[in-house]
Amino acid sequence: DTAVSQTPKYLVTQMGNDKSIKCEQNLGHDTMYWYKQDSKKFLKIMFSYNNKELIINETVPNRFSPKSPDKAHLNLHINSLELGDSAVYFCASSHTGLAGGLYNEQFFGPGTRLTVL
């Protein structure tokens, strides 16, 4: 039973295109995140959504737009793709309420490797 799933796993596209990555969690968590792992293997937070509301936006170009239709989904839309967008994108989720984990444990999806040609 997959806890945090992402589709697609691989995405190859041309510069200038618009693409979306989908993320779903079945853990009942109230907060979801997008992270980017670049070519130097650094994992960096991009966005955080709590109960469908944006709470973190880390200096990400506005070509990137997260969309949360409900608490279980957080999709990432990227417009006008550039070469530098090539990376692995990870979705994650956590429970920030008192009944959840004590220490902000976040659970990650398998990642989507985006290659922009």
Binding site for another protein (CB under 8 A): 4, 31, 33, 35, 40-45, 48, 50, 55-56, 58, 90, 92, 94, 96, 101-111
Least spacing, CB of residue 109 vs another protein, in Å: 5
Q: How far apart are the first and last CA of the chain?
A: 34
Least spacing, CB of residue 111 vs another protein, in Å: 5
Q: How far apart are CA 99 and CA 115, in angstroms?
A: 39
Handedness of CA 40, 6, 59, 57 (dihedral sign): negative
Nearer to another protein, 16 or 101 (CB): 101
Least spacing, CB of residue 50 vs another protein, in Å: 6
Q: How far apart are CA 89 and CA 20, in angstroms?
A: 11
Q: How far apart are CA 86 and CA 71, in angstroms?
A: 27
Q: 56 has which bridge partners?
A: 48
Least spacing, CB of residue 24 vs another protein, in Å: 14
Nearer to another protein, 82 or 105 (CB): 105
Q: How far apart are CA 30 and CA 51, in angstroms?
A: 5
Nearer to another protein, 17 or 44 (CB): 44
Nearer to another protein, 50 or 65 (CB): 50
